[in-house]
């Protein structure tokens, strides 16, 4: 496969995931979709010491956890990031308004 075509397909897929999840414009959510493949590929690429191979990892459950935990951890981190950013933006908007909120409600 052509690497440029693969990149284009990955980009279109990422945009479709953001749109489908209802998080359009919140680009940090791409980390949630990319986190698990990154962790799994790192686990496969890193040369582990010999004693790690002798550990009984518990079978299928460990594989499922290694695949699912990055999704959960990155989702929590990204959600916390956007919650803090939104709180900071709303507090900055309230500070920037020249008319106090009580006077604004009274005029309406």
pLDDT digits (tens, 9 = 90+) for 25-68: 788 888 888 888 888 888 888 887 887 777 777 777 777 887 88
Q: Does the pLDDT of residue 80 top 90, yes or no?
A: yes
In angstroms, the CA 17 to CA 27 distance is 11
**Averaged pLDDT score across all residues of the chain:** 79
Rg of the chain over all Cα atoms, to the nearest angstrom:
22
In angstroms, the CA 29 to CA 86 distance is 15
Give residue for tokens 């020249």.
98
Q: Does the pLDDT of residue 99 top 70, yes or no?
A: no
Let me know the angle formed at the C-alpha of 40 by 22 and 80, rounded to the nearest 5 degrees. Answer: 40
In angstroms, the CA 9 to CA 3 distance is 10
pLDDT at 76: 93
């Amino acid at each position: 496969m052509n690497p440029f075509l693969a990149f284009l397909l990955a980009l279109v897929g990422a945009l479709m995931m953001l749109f489908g999840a209802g998080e359009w414009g919140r680009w940090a959510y791409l980390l949630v979709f990319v986190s698990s493949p990154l962790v799994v590929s790192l686990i496969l690429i890193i040369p582990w010491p010999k004693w790690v191979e002798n550990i009984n990892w518990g079978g299928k459950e460990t594989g499922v956890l290694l695949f699912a935990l990055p999704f959960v951890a990155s989702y929590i981190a990204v959600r916390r990031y956007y919650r803090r950013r939104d709180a900071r933006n709303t507090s900055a908007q309230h500070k920037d308004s020249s008319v106090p909120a009580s006077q604004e409600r009274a005029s309406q």
